[in-house]
Amino acid sequence: MRSPLPLALASLVLLWTAVAGAADAPADVVYRGGRIYTANAGDDIVEALAIRAGRIVYAGSDAGVGRFTGAATRTVDLGGRTAMPGLVDGHMHPLEGGSLLLKCNLNYEALTVTQLQARIQACLDATRSEEPDGWVEVVSWFQQNMLPAGVATSRATLDALATSRPVIVRSSFGHTVLANSRALALARITRDTPDPLGGKIAHDAAGEPTGILEDAAFEVFDTLVPKPTPAQDVAAARAALAALARQGVTTFLDAAAQAESMAAFHAVQHSGGLTARAHFAPPILPPEAGHLDAAIARIVAFRKRYDQGPIVAAPRLTVRNAKLFLDGVIAGPSFTGAMLEPYLVNAGTETEPRWQAGPSRGPAVYFPAPALKAALIGLGRAGIDPHMHADGDRAVHEALDAIEALRSALPGKDIRPAIAHDEIVSPDDFARFARLKAFAVLSLQWGKPASDTVDGLRDYLGPARARILEPSGLLAAQGAAIAYGSDWPVDPLDEWFALKVGVTRTNAADAGPKYAGRLGADPGLTRLQVLRAITIVAARELHADDVSGSLETGKLADLIVLDRDPFTIPAEEIAAIRVLQTVVGGHTVYAAPGFGN
């Protein structure tokens, strides 16, 4: 009788050979000759990567990658160029961003009145078939940046255009619309129309509406301008994905996902065009505070319908976040950020100002504290990560209190709560982020001197708070996990400018002397910190770090090749970095003209 041992041994050897053979089987693609920042735990830089079936099978030296090169392996010689993990954007609004790209888009540019008119006329001329009644929506108008500074616009600016169509121009800040006379007439806005609650209709000396409408005053257009069709949503999703691929973004979170957004990206995936990993955070709205069970059930239903399970090489849809708005924005004239101390008001005159505490600390946090705690615990039980909008220090404080309640109700459960924006945080709360394992999701580009951070804001916040505006470095120094989120299209999609500001805390050189220098007392982040914020830390925020966010054996091959090295160029030049190639799951989704592959 034969002993079973040799047989077992023989199959073991066979098995071992098979495994070892797989490990050394030829890769589909090999990158070599590069400076490849891995964003692994040691922040290692390697020379070479091997990719098979969308995954990284080797990260190391050029000498070591040779054994993965077979007859069919494609080799990319990086020629000393830098590569790094694909960018993970932990907070944006991609469907809105994509839809803006398809509209008449002024692209946040500084324009004279004549240039503004010429740009809009060009849009009109390109869509002549929509005369005489089709609405024209002009977007991304940087109203505060018109040339010369302070120049006024009115409906006459738009009435001069060669069109019969109703025209509205939306400011990039989102608080102003300029309408032509046709649009005002269709909205029935006349000299006698009263200001709506929370809105303002500007009038000229003769009492006629100028066409400038603030906040609630332009909500009337929501019902007049036709809603996008599903086909237009799909076109917007495609436009967004193309823009993201060019920037190097391989994973994103839609931070207030409507059903239309999930449906549109799902449709794009169906036709083979999903070129980034799409995460969605459907919102729970403040009126739902009274019936949270139903609200959480709605999020879970979205997950059932759209979440596609484990993240694999081909991009999928993931629904494991929910969005909660806790307040508005600290910027004037809104003052809707919930603050611990009052906003200051000028008790003096314009020439002799005397700033003192006013009556307002902003609104009550949009969810009462007990409801917010119950919401987080309920989401935690359902395995959903809460993603909170909190701009003022009281909103941030109450968000942290709710996370504390979540942690004590569900100790040890792997829930990853995030607090987005954090423009003002009480220094007493800095250390709580690390202690409670709360992610600070920051739009690093906000941390610079600009019209929204300097003009007026220093006055109504007071010097103590203005010093610590946008506290990225201060939070990081206390151990907070800083993830990057662009908040596109609140700002233009420009991840590299944002990373530059994260390091320098300065505006662009052409912003002018008014906005020269650094913002506040915050030390900013190191290059490593900003690069980790937009790769591995944001992947952790999205529960995707087991498969992405760094270039390590076994992870998915999401990577980008850059035209220069963010570690060695002057910090200001980080804004000028261009992506040469974007790869998602081993598949090239963008290549700059001239970058051979």
Pick between residue 387 and residue 416 the one whose CB is nearest to Zn ion. 387
361, 394 contact by CB (below 8 A): yes
Classify residue 404 by burial, with Cβ atoms within 10 Å: 0-12, 13-18, 19+: middle
Site string for Zn ion, 439-478 (x = CB under 5 A): ----------------------------------------
CB of 592 vs Zn ion, minimal distance in Å: 29
CA neighbor of 564 nearest in space, from 576, 572, 552: 576
E strand or H helix at 570, and its extent?
none
Nearer to Zn ion, 446 or 460 (CB): 446
Q: Which stretch binds Zn ion (CB under 5 A): 53-61, 293-301, 483-491, 515-523?
A: 483-491
Q: How far is CA 425 from CA 137, 398, 420, 440, in A?
A: 37, 11, 12, 11
Q: At 318, is the secondary structure helix, strand, or coil?
A: strand
**Minimal distance, residue 92 CB to Zn ion, in Å:** 7
Residue closer to Zn ion (CB basis): 255 or 329: 255
**Residues in 571-590 at the binding interface with Zn ion, rule: CB under 5 A:** none
Query: Closest separation between CB of residue 390 and Zn ion, Å?
Result: 11
Q: Which is nearer to Zn ion, 154 or 172 (CB)?
A: 172
CB nearer to Zn ion: pick between 328 and 449: 328
Residue 355, SS3? strand
3-class SS at 354? coil
Rounded distance between C-alpha atoms, residue 285 and residue 325, angstroms: 7
- CB contact burial 410-440 (16+ within 10 A = b; e otherwise): eeeeebbbbbbbbbbbbeebbebbeebebbb
Residue given tokens 């018109």 in the structure block: 146
Place of tokens 């920037």: 247
**Nearest residue (CB) to Zn ion, 423 versus 552:** 423
Q: Smallest distance, Å, CB 439 to Zn ion?
A: 15
**Considering the complex, what minimum distance in angstroms separates the CB of residue 353 from Zn ion?**
33
Return the number of the residue (158 or 534) whose C-beta is nearest Zn ion. Answer: 534
The phi, psi pair for 464, rounded to 5°, reads: -65, -45
- Shorter beta-carbon distance to Zn ion: residue 182 or 387: 387
Q: CB of residue 338 vs Zn ion: minimum separation in angstroms?
A: 16
Least distance CB 90 / Zn ion (angstroms): 11
Counting contacts by CB under 5 A, is residue 487 touching Zn ion?
Answer: yes
Taking CB atoms, the residue at the shortest distance from Zn ion is 487
Q: Closer to Zn ion at the Cβ: 429 or 487?
A: 487
Nearer to Zn ion, 217 or 255 (CB): 255
Q: For residue 285, what are its two tokens?
A: 């709205």
* Residue 237: both structure tokens together: 């999703």
Is residue 550 within 8 Å of residue 38, measured between CB atoms?
A: yes
- Residue appearing with tokens 């009337």: 220
Integer-rounded Cα radius of gyration of the chain: 26
* Beta-strand pair 29-32/74-77: parallel
Smallest separation (angstroms) from Zn ion to the CB of 288: 19
* Structure-block tokens of residue 532: 């980790």
Provide the token pair at 105: 């888009």
Applying CB under 5 A, the site for Zn ion has a residue count of: 2
Is 495 among the residues that bind Zn ion (CB under 5 A)?
A: no
Q: Whole-number minimum distance, CB 44 to Zn ion, in Å?
A: 33
C-beta of 93: minimal distance to Zn ion in Å?
6
Choices 241-249, 442-450, 482-490, 577-585; region in contact with Zn ion by CB under 5 A: 482-490
Is residue 391 at the binding interface for Zn ion, with CB under 5 A as the rule? no
Site for Zn ion in 242-271 (CB under 5 A): 255
Is residue 23 classed as helix, strand or coil in its secondary structure?
helix
**Closer residue to Zn ion, CB minimum distance, 487 or 541:** 487
User: CA-CA distance, 195 to 214, in Å (whole number)?
Assistant: 9
* Least distance (Å) between residue 314 CB and Zn ion: 27
In the complex, what is the shortest distance from the CB of residue 443 to Zn ion, in angstroms, rounded to a whole number? 8
Closest by CA position to 460, among listed 511, 392, 507, 394: 392
Edge-to-edge strand list for the sheet holding 317-319: 87-92, 249-254, 277-280, 317-319
**Site stretch for Zn ion (CB under 5 A), options 123-131, 156-164, 306-314, 485-493:** 485-493
Bridge partners (DSSP) of residue 343 are: none
Residue closer to Zn ion, measured from CB, 255 or 577: 255
Which residues form the interface with Zn ion (CB under 5 A)? 255, 487
